[in-house]
């Protein structure tokens, strides 16, 4: 039974590949866990095996010619459409700005990474651990992309209705409970809006320091309005450091009001 199942998963692959007992066991275990996550039995199992296979895993098993990249592309669009429709239908009194920010908060990498962890997807996605290099960003990318690929697989296998059900239950509702998605964490955008509304200079971000090896950098960045230093932030990439600097700047500006 398992041999036939794997034949269907990878019918373009060479027959000798299927004698790898370690890989057989891993697929079987992951597929069993996935069915519990989904709450249904897939019609076309190959979609879901591909959804769980990150491109970096092909470096370990070059016999696998397909990863989850195409499904991730599809799932990204399906997710965005479902989230947009949900917000439009359920927040009728909110303006376009609220809807745009809320959608961005619900589909960003950090939130999808958290959702993937909460449903246990991070334990069954196949990837090459060397790809991560101790990087939280690498993990976020792999698992958030994997979740989008899974949504693409559900859409192809079960249709839009089932994909919508999965997205609402697994991605939207957990954040609606405590309204986390309503919190605007784009502090850089907030600072820019504040500066424009007060007719101030456009915020400038200056790198104070850059330390660590290439795969594990730590940036410290200052943000200025004109010549005034308003905040400093640190992070393992420039974007994260700029966001922290902007958050500290906004806190300072609000305290001075």
The residues annotated as belonging to the active site are 76, 148
- Whether the CB-CB separation of 153 and 167 falls below 8 Å is answered with no
Tokens of 128: 């090459």
CA distance 37 to 219: 38
Q: What is the secondary structure of 90-153 as a DSSP string?
A: H-TT--HHHHHHHHHHHHSHHHHHHHHHHHTGGGT-B--GGGTTT-HHHHHHHHHHHHHHHHHH
Q: How far apart are the first and last CA of the chain?
A: 69
In 3D space, the residue among 178, 111, 101, 102 whose CA is nearest the CA of residue 140 turns out to be 111
Beta bridge partners of 229: 224
- Whether the CB-CB separation of 68 and 54 falls below 8 Å is answered with yes
């Amino acid at each position: 039974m398992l041999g036939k199942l794997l034949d269907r998963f990878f019918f373009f692959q060479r027959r000798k590949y299927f004698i790898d007992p370690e890989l057989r066991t891993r697929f079987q275990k992951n597929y069993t866990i996935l069915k519990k996550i989904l709450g249904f039995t897939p019609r076309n199992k190959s979609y879901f095996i591909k959804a769980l296979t990150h491109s970096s895993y092909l470096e370990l098993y070059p016999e696998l010619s397909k990863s989850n990249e195409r499904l991730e592309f599809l799932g990204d669009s399906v997710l965005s459409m479902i989230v947009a429709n949900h917000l439009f239908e359920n927040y009728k009194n909110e303006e376009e700005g609220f809807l745009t920010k809320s959608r961005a908060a619900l589909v960003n990498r950090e939130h999808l990474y958290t959702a993937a962890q909460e449903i246990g997807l991070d334990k069954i996605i196949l990837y090459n651990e060397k790809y991560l290099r101790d990087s939280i960003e690498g993990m976020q990318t792999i698992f958030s992309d994997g979740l989008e690929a899974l949504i693409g697989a559900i859409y192809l296998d079960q249709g839009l209705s089932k994909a919508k059900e999965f997205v609402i239950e697994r991605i939207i509702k957990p954040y609606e409970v405590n309204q986390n998605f309503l919190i605007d964490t784009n502090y850089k955008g907030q600072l820019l809006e504040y500066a424009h509304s007060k007719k101030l200079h456009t915020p400038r971000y200056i790198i104070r320091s850059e330390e660590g090896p290439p795969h594990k950098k730590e940036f410290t960045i200052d943000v200025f309005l004109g010549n005034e230093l308003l905040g400093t932030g640190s992070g393992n990439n420039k974007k994260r450091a700029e966001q922290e600097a902007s958050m500290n700047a906004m806190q300072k500006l609000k305290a001075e009001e």
